[in-house]
Amino acid sequence: MSESIGFDREVDASGLNCPLPILRAKKALADLPSGQVLKIISTDPGSRKDFEVFARQTGHELLQVERGEKNWTFYLKRR
């Protein structure tokens, strides 16, 4: 497993299905200054594709994606 990177805020969206993990991340990113990193934990199997599309559409940078045994962890850098 790759080494985790530093983050400024964390959102645990475990147990939530699309589109809730994205909506929680969007709300949290709105409160972060540019350049800060948001860590999102999701158990939704479709969230990897969702966050890749979200990052591309919004201009936030998807720094890292980690696949855990039961979840995904995403690191998004606020544009």
Q: Show me where the domains of the chain are located.
A: 9-77
Superfamily of domain 9-77: TusA-like domain (3.30.110.40)
Distance CA 57, CA 69 (A): 28
| Amino acid 6: pLDDT | 95
| Amino acid 4: pLDDT | 65
pTM beyond 0.75: the answer is yes
| Amino acid 2: pLDDT | 53
What residues are annotated to the active site? 18
Distance CA 79, CA 59 (A): 6
Per-residue tens of pLDDT for the chain, all 79 residues: 456 689 999 999 999 999 999 999 999 999 999 999 999 999 999 999 999 999 999 999 999 999 999 999 999 999 9
Distance CA 2, CA 31 (A): 28
| DSSP assignment letter at 37 | E
| Amino acid 1: pLDDT | 46
By CB atoms closer than 10 A (0-12, 13-18, 19+), residue 69 is exposed
